[in-house]
Amino acid sequence: MKNISAVYPGSFDPPTNGHIDIIKRAAKIFSEVVVAVTHNCNKHHMFSLEERVDMMSRSVSEIKIVKVSSFSGLLVDYLDKTESFCIVRGLRALSDFEYEFQMALMNRKLKRDVETIFLVPDQEYTFLSSSTVREIASLGGDFKNFVPAPVYEKIIKIKGK
């Protein structure tokens, strides 16, 4: 088996149990998984880039082959820096596919040897998204079962201020 690393990019604002599920699935396939937290100045994030990297790092600390970093700019340029050609993306529903398919084709157009691997999370996470968690938390709902413990603690801490 080849040693192949993969990059799992996303804003992870905040990381959810669905993200962790995809990371665990990717860790069964690849020799290394780089979780690449994106910096996108066009988005208004709940958490800073540093907070998102920290929450993700603490959430995956027990998965030894996973590294967490951040980047801005084109994903294909980041792949060059990590010497990877594989992108991991999660698909929750058919509605995710169209967007992800377009992005996969664009990344391949920008860098010919890029491959995108789509992974499907456990069915208990197919409804889950970061935006849903943010909304539930902002409205005072119970979101504890939707996020890793470090993320839950961070959101509760912010809400307590």
Which residues belong to the active site? 19, 43, 92, 130
Neighbours of 21 (CB within 10 A): 18
- The β-bridge partners of 119 are 90
CB 35 within 8 A of CB 60: yes
Can you tell me whether residue 108 is helix, strand or coil?
A: helix
Q: How far apart are CA 57 and CA 138, in angstroms?
A: 24
What's the token pair of residue 53? 């990297």
